[in-house]
Structure 1
Amino acid sequence: MRAHPGLAEIERARAAIAGRVRRTPARLSPRLAERLGVPVVLKHEHEQITGAFKLRGATNALANLSEDERARGVVTVSTGNHGRALAHAAREAGVRCVVAMSRLVPGNKRDAIAALGAEIAIHGASQDEAQEEVDRRVAEGGLVEIPPFDHPDVIAGQGTLGLEIVEDVPDLAQVLIPLSGGGLAAGVAAAVKAKRPHARIVGITMERGAAMHASLAAGRPVLVEEAPSLADSLGGGIGLANRHTFPMLRDLMDEVVLLTEDEITLGMAFCHVAEGVMVEGGGAVGPGAILAGKVRPIGPTVALLTGANVDPAQHARIVSDPEILERLA
C-alpha cells in the first residue's frame, strides 16, 4: 500500500496541476466575523473551473497515470462533483472516462457530467452500490479506477487547497471543511498541520448518513444508511477497506460538527444573501455551522465554500423563502 500523502506529495501535486486549475479567492466575511467574534475568511473554491474543489484531485491523479493506464481509460464512482471533475480532466487529457452514480445523484449533476463527454452508468440506490459497477468495469473492461477520495494522488491534489489557505491567512487558527469521504479534509489537514501545527481542523457534515463521523466514533470504517439531504455532495460511505482518509483524519482532525437540514438551508441562503454567491448545500456547511453557533471563536477562521453545482430551481426556492430571509435579516 502506498504511504499516506504528506507535504512533499502535496507540493508535487501543486506543480503537476499548475495552469490546469484556478487559485481561488479568499475573502473576508464581515457578517460571519461579527457573528463569530473573530476574523472569518471564505475560500471561494466553488469558483473552481468545474464548480467544485474536486478538479484538484482528479487532475493530479490523471497526471500521475502511466501511458498504458491512460490508454485503458478511467472509471470512478461519484455523487456528482468528483465525476464532473474527472470528466473534465479526462477530456482535457484525451482519456476515456466512465462515471458510475446511484439514483440519488441529482439530475443536474448527471447531465453536467454527460455534457463533458463521460459515459454515465446509473447503478443502485447508494454510493456503495454504485461502486459495484466500478468494480465490474475494472474487472471486465480493464479500466483504471480513480476513486473520489481514498487515493493518495487525489488526496494530495485536494491538499493544494490547504497550501493556498495558509498563504491566504498566515495567522490561521482553524479551518472549517465540508466532510464526506474525507479526501478534501485529509489533504487540507495534512497541508495545514505541516505548516501550522496548532491550527484546528474542523469537519462539517450533515446529520443524515454522516459516514466518516460514524466511522471515527466507532474506531473503524462502518456502513451507514444514506438518506436524501440538501448536502447531497457529502453523502456516501467511506469504504470498509478505507486505506487513507480514515486513518489520516483519525490522526489529524480535531472535531466534527453535524448540521440539521435547516442549518444547511440557512447556510445556503446566507451565501446568496450576504455574500452574493450560489453555493450548494454541501459547500455551504461552514457558514451554516457558524450561524448555528456550533463553531468555537478561537481566532482567524477559514470556511471553505466547496461547490456551486446546485439545482437552480432548488436554490431559487431556498433563497426566495420569506421565512428564511427573515431569519437572516
Structure 2
Amino acid sequence: MTVTISDIERARDALAGQVVSTPMLAAPALSKLTGVDLTVKFENLQVTNSFKDRGAFIKLASLSADDKARGVIAMSAGNHAQAVAYHASRLGIPATIVMPETTPFNKIERTRAHGAEIVLSGETLADSQVTVEAIIADRGLTLVHPYDDDHIIAGQGTIALEMLADAPDLDTLIVPIGGGGLISGNAVAAKALKPDIRIVGVETALYPSMYHALRGEPAQCGGSTLAEGIAVKNVTARTIALCRENVDEIRLVGESDIERAVNAFLCQQKVVAEGAGAAGLAAVLADPESFRGRKVGLILCGGNIDPRILASIIYRELEREHRIVSLRIEIDDRPGTLGRISTLLGQAGANILEVWHRRMFLEVPAKRADLEIMIETRDAAHADEIIALIEQQGFVTEVLDAPAGRAAQRRNAAA
C-alpha cells in the first residue's frame, strides 16, 4: 500500500470523535522572539499528550477480530506506547509494550496506567526491536510499528489536513522526524492540497538518521538527547521513499537549541513541550533568517516531558540569560567581609540564592578565601552592573560560567 491523500482523508473520517481535533493557533510571542510568522498545532493536547493517538487508533481499528483477540505489541520510547495502550484498552485489545530501559519514568507509568503489559529491554529502540521480534514469534501478537506502517502514516497525516483547513495561507510546515511516520503522512497530505508548500523536517543532531538516509550515507547515531522521542537510529525504506518524494529539506538541531525551544514554549506560549515536540521551534531559533517572510506552521507533537528535566531546563535558561549568575570572589578571611559583600549585593538589587566559603583549597592563600555566591538578577545588563560594583570595591571577581577570556579580563581589570 502506498499512502495517498485518499487514505489520509479516510483516516480523518475514521478519527472523528476518537481523538482530539487539536487547536491551531497563532503564536505572537514566539513570532516576536524569532521574527518569523509562526502558527502552532497543539498536538500535546491529545488525550495521551502526543500526536501518536492518531496513527495508533487507525492501525488498531484496521485489525481483524482474530488479531484483536490475540493482542498487539509495540516498541516505543513513550508516546507511541501510551497511544497504543490507551486505544487498545478502549477497543478491548490486549497490549504489550516493549520500552527501552532509558525511557523516562513518567512515560512508563502512564503507559502502564492504561492497562498494558510493560517490558523494559535495551538501551535504544533498536535493542527493543529484538525483544519485540522474540515475543511475536512466541505469542503471535500483531506488531503496531511506531512509523513503518501505512495505517500509522495515514493517521498521522490527518494533522496537515486540519492545519491547512484552519490556516490555508501557510506556505511552510516544519515537522519533527524520528522514524519518519509523522513527516511522511503530513508531507503527503500537505503536498496534495498545496503542491508548492515547503516541507522542512527536523532531526536532533545526535540522531540524523533520515538526513543521511536521503543522501545514501551511513548515519552516526548515539548519545543522550533531550528529544528522546525522535532518537531513532533506523529509518525504513517506506518512510525514506515518502520523504524523498515530498520533503524539501531536513535540518539538524543541537541540544542547546532544543532546550531553548522547550523553554520558549513554556515561558512565551505558556504550554509544555517535550524535546521532540519542540524540535520545529528549535530549527527556527537556530536559523530564523531562513524562515523570515514565510507563514510557518509548527507541529508541537508532544508534551510528555519529565518534570525534573523541565525544571532543569528552566534553571539552565535562567543561567544562559544571566538571570542566575554564580560568582567567585577573592576575599580576606576576616570578620565582616561576607556582610560587606552581602550589603553590596542587596543595594544593587541582587537576590542571594546560595553562598559557599572555600578556605581549605591549597590554591587559596592561608589568610584569604574564595567566596562563591549564586545570585538572581533582572537580566544580563543588571548582572554586569552588580559585578562592576563589586570590582569597584577592590574584589577580584570571576563569573563561573563565563568564557575563560572574559574571566581573565575581569581579573586583570580588578588588578
TM-score range, shorter chain: over 0.9
Residue by residue over 1:246-284, the C-alpha shift from the partner in whole angstroms, topping out at 9 and shown as x without a partner, is: 110011111111111101000000000000011101101
Question: Quick one: structure 1 residues 41 and 323, their matched pair in 2 at CA, closer, same or farther if it must change by over 3 Å?
Answer: same
Instruction: Determine whether 1:315 maps to 2:349.
Output: no
> What corresponds to 1:227 in structure 2?
223
Query: Is the 2:29–2:269 contact (alpha carbons within 8 Å) kept by the matching residues of 1?
Result: no
Q: What is the CA distance between 1:35 and its match in structure 2?
A: 4.7
Count how many residue pairs are aligned between Structure 1 and Structure 2: 323
Query: What code does the residue aligned with 1:271 have?
Result: F
| Higher Rg | 2
> What corresponds to 1:135 in structure 2?
133
Q: 1:204 aligns to what SS in structure 2? A: strand
Pairing partner for 1:195 from 190, 193, 196:
193
- Unpaired runs of 5+ residues, structure 1, are none
Q: What is the CA distance between 1:224 and its match in structure 2?
A: 4.3
Instruction: Determine whether 1:86 maps to 2:84.
Output: yes
Question: Quick one: structure 1 residues 69 and 298, their matched pair in 2 at CA, closer, same or farther if it must change by over 3 Å?
Answer: farther
Q: What is the CA distance between 1:238 and its match in structure 2?
A: 2.9
Pairing partner for 1:205 from 186, 203, 206:
203
> What corresponds to 2:263 in structure 1?
269
CA distance in 2, matches of 1:115, 1:324: 37
Pairs within 5 Å for 1:134-283: 134-218=132-216, 224-239=220-235, 242-283=236-277
CA distance in 1, matches of 2:197, 2:321: 33
Query: What code does the residue aligned with 2:256 have?
Result: D
Q: What is the CA distance between 1:296 and its match in structure 2?
A: 2.5
CA distance in 2, matches of 1:179, 1:243: 15
Q: What is the CA distance between 1:121 and its match in structure 2?
A: 1.1
> What corresponds to 2:407 in structure 1?
none
Q: How big is the alpha-carbon RMSD for the aligned residues of Structure 1 and Structure 2?
A: 1.8
* Greater shift in the superposed pair: 3-12 or 292-301: 292-301
Q: What is the CA distance between 1:217 and its match in structure 2?
A: 2.3
Which one has the bigger strand percentage?
2
CA distance in 2, matches of 1:217, 1:121: 35
Q: What is the CA distance between 1:37 and its match in structure 2?
A: 4.2
Instruction: Determine whether 1:69 maps to 2:67.
Output: yes
CA distance in 2, matches of 1:197, 1:298: 19
Query: Is the 1:35–1:290 contact (alpha carbons within 8 Å) kept by the matching residues of 2?
Result: no
Query: Is the 1:99–1:121 contact (alpha carbons within 8 Å) kept by the matching residues of 2?
Result: yes
Q: 1:14 aligns to what SS in structure 2? A: helix
Q: What is the CA distance between 1:292 and its match in structure 2?
A: 1.6
Q: What is the CA distance between 1:68 and its match in structure 2?
A: 0.8
CA distance in 2, matches of 1:114, 1:152: 26
Q: What is the CA distance between 1:151 and its match in structure 2?
A: 0.1
Q: 2:268 aligns to what SS in structure 1? A: helix
Query: Is the 2:36–2:291 contact (alpha carbons within 8 Å) kept by the matching residues of 1?
Result: no
Query: What code does the residue aligned with 1:31 have?
Result: A
Query: Is the 1:266–1:324 contact (alpha carbons within 8 Å) kept by the matching residues of 2?
Result: no
Query: Is the 1:37–1:297 contact (alpha carbons within 8 Å) kept by the matching residues of 2?
Result: yes
Q: 1:283 aligns to what SS in structure 2? A: coil
Query: What code does the residue aligned with 1:225 have?
Result: C
Query: What code does the residue aligned with 2:224 have?
Result: P
Q: What is the CA distance between 1:124 and its match in structure 2?
A: 1.5
Residue by residue over 1:265-317, the C-alpha shift from the partner in whole angstroms, topping out at 9 and shown as x without a partner, is: 00000000000011101101112221222542252100111111000111012
Question: Quick one: structure 1 residues 315 and 38, their matched pair in 2 at CA, closer, same or farther if it must change by over 3 Å?
Answer: closer
Q: What is the CA distance between 1:36 and its match in structure 2?
A: 4.7
Query: Is the 1:319–1:325 contact (alpha carbons within 8 Å) kept by the matching residues of 2?
Result: no
Q: What is the CA distance between 1:326 and its match in structure 2?
A: 5.2
CA distance in 2, matches of 1:245, 1:170: 26
TM-score between both structures, scaled by the size of structure 1: 0.94
Pairing partner for 1:18 from 16, 19, 43:
16
CA distance in 1, matches of 2:233, 2:98: 15
Q: 1:217 aligns to what SS in structure 2? A: coil
CA distance in 1, matches of 2:149, 2:233: 15
Q: What is the CA distance between 1:324 and its match in structure 2?
A: 3.9
> What corresponds to 1:32 in structure 2?
30
CA distance in 1, matches of 2:319, 2:211: 31
Instruction: Determine whether 1:296 maps to 2:294.
Output: no
> What corresponds to 2:393 in structure 1?
none
TM-score between both structures, scaled by the size of structure 2: 0.75
Instruction: Determine whether 1:284 maps to 2:282.
Output: no
Answer 1 or 2: higher relative contact order, Cα 8 Å, separation at least 6: 1
CA distance in 1, matches of 2:33, 2:201: 19
Query: Is the 1:100–1:120 contact (alpha carbons within 8 Å) kept by the matching residues of 2?
Result: yes
